[in-house]
Amino acid sequence: MYFKLAILSLLNLFSVYGFEFFCFNDGYRRLIEEIKSIAVRPDSPIVTRWIEQKLDHFDSNETRTWRMRYYERLDYWRSHGPVYLYIGGEGPATPGFLTTGVMYELAQETRGAMFMSEHRYYGKSQPVKRNNIEDMKFLTTPQALADIANLLRTIVKKAIFRHSKIVVVGGSYAGNLAAWMRLVYPDLVNAAIASSAPVLAKRDFYEYLEVVSKDYEQYGTSGCLENIRNQFQRYELLFQTEEGVKQLKQENNICDRSDITKPENKHLFFLTKASNFSYTVQYATPAKIQNHCSSINGTKDTLGLPNDDQNYQSKKQNCEYYNFNNTVQAYHKEENDQAYCWTYQSCTEFGYYQTATSDNQLFTNNIPAEFYDKLCMSLFGEGFNKDKVNNGVNTINSMYGGKSPNVTQVVFVNGELDPWSALSVLEDISNDAPAVYIPRSSHCRDLFSNKDGDPDELKQARARIKNLIKKWIRAGDIISHIINKVTST
């Protein structure tokens, strides 16, 4: 997703009391954390602004409005320069996106203005005070797209931007929004970068763990693949007897009070274990996968998150408590508000359930789609069942075209290592809707600037993306010039 959509990497958050909560999508959250680590100077030219939005863009009887946050940076802009909008996804907007990366470089090189939008219900852009599930009904993709359209129209109404071309950029779920802005509002948006965009909504997203498994097979060290497979098969075997369950608890420091024989708690256990590997590959390099393999080869367990990223590593002090009901309760805590909102979108529009229902993955068949259905119903009510998510998935794919959207001047970018690429556009739709597939690259890496250690393929991809955008907006300038000339004569 964080991106995302961040996306639905199975990040596990541990409290001092053990397992408490997991989030559907690490994609955008992780992207935000990395960008936030880039310091913004106190004298930064980035300005925080607010715009009034309709609560419901499609119901004339609904008159309520709300304030949406966005960021603005104009120090590189020159007359007739383009307008670049970085679309915010399932997390708070951060000004760091206007200080580095492909969009930042494009703005420098084309004398463009930069903006970043914040998605409704995330960060400080709160349309309503949520007291019950009815207050969530305005959290939909069409409403989010209409918010962006209103923001862009407001920007280009300013005299200085009246002749500016508009380019939108997004990663993970926001990559979907970037492509769909060009689809739904082609007269407003001239070009788009859709990075790691899972444009195909799908309830049973079994391909995610297939890609994770493939990454370990291709880039893991000798014996790593079999070690992972054997470990998960051993978990499954231990679950079959009372003595085995006791041994499993001892080896994995699971609380005695945790009844892991309950199906939903058992699913949580396997989800936790598999997500250690999902977490690694979504933002991996081949070297990181190899390092992870080295850390687990020859060990009895693979509980810990990768040692090279202390920010996300479990700080386990006591036993791990696997309890589905506690997980549901954790979603309602204020600090998990963003995860609650993204899960609502997953349960109503996208699915993205990262299951283990395929035989072509390493983690045994112990993470079913029904586990996520139960989570949706437990969080939002019995009506949020399998039928509802399937209806939402079908609606999204029908509205926007799935992996074959009818768009031009959109570049779809994916990394080989990224599990989300399975739901994205990997082959050219047309010459003006190309797919850029980057070997040895991961989720949304193209959106960053070149740095030491980046593979040549990634650097070349960034250069190609920028050239495509420059070509598209320059062609638009030429066409506008011809039309103006003909009109004047």
d(CA 480, CA 187): 13
Question: Does pLDDT of 18 surpass 50?
Answer: no
Residue range 7-21: average pLDDT? 34
d(CA 353, CA 371): 9
Look at residues 329, 354, 351 and name the one whose alpha carbon lies nearest to residue 340: 329
The answer to whether the Cα torsion of 275, 281, 283, 286 is positive or negative is positive
Phi and psi torsions of 286, nearest 5°: -55, -35
Question: Does pLDDT of 40 surpass 80?
Answer: no
Residue range 346-375: average pLDDT? 98
Lowest-pLDDT range of 74-78, 206-210, 361-365, 477-481: 477-481
Cα-to-chain-centroid distance, residue 386? 22
Question: Does pLDDT of 10 surpass 80?
Answer: no
Provide the pairing of β-strand 113-117 with 65-73. Answer: antiparallel
Question: Does pLDDT of 176 surpass 60?
Answer: yes
Question: Does pLDDT of 203 surpass 90?
Answer: yes
Looking up tokens 């740095």, which residue turns up?
451
Provide the pairing of β-strand 191-195 with 18-23. Answer: unpaired
Residue range 163-169: average pLDDT? 97
* pLDDT bucket at 23, cuts 50 / 70 / 90: low
Identify whether the C-beta of residue 418 lies closer than 8 Å to the C-beta of residue 175. Answer: no
**pLDDT at site 283:** 87
- Write the pLDDT tens digit of every residue in 79-130: 999 999 999 999 999 999 999 999 999 999 999 999 999 999 999 999 999 8
d(CA 96, CA 38): 6
- Write the pLDDT tens digit of every residue in 255-291: 999 999 999 999 999 999 999 999 899 888 999 999 9
**pLDDT at site 11:** 35
d(CA 199, CA 177): 9
**What share of the chain in percent tops pLDDT 70?**
84
Looking up tokens 């599990």, which residue turns up?
419
**pLDDT at site 300:** 53
DSSP, residue by residue, 284-352: --HHHHHHHHHHHTT-S---SPPTT-GGGS----S-B---HHHHHHHHTSGGGHHHHHHHHHIIIIIEE
* pLDDT bucket at 33, cuts 50 / 70 / 90: low
The strand ranges marked E within 378-433 are: 410-415
Identify whether the C-beta of residue 451 lies closer than 8 Å to the C-beta of residue 428. Answer: no
Question: Does pLDDT of 12 surpass 60?
Answer: no
Torsion of CA 316, 321, 323, 328, to 10 degrees: -30
Identify whether the C-beta of residue 462 lies closer than 8 Å to the C-beta of residue 446. Answer: yes
pTM of the predicted model, to two decimals? Answer: 0.90
**pLDDT at site 279:** 87
**pLDDT at site 42:** 67
Mean pLDDT of the chain: 88
**pLDDT at site 15:** 30
Cα-to-chain-centroid distance, residue 397? 18
Lowest-pLDDT range of 7-11, 204-208, 445-449: 7-11
Q: Directed axis angle between helix 263-282 and helix 369-380, to 10°?
A: 100
The answer to whether the Cα torsion of 280, 284, 289, 290 is positive or negative is negative
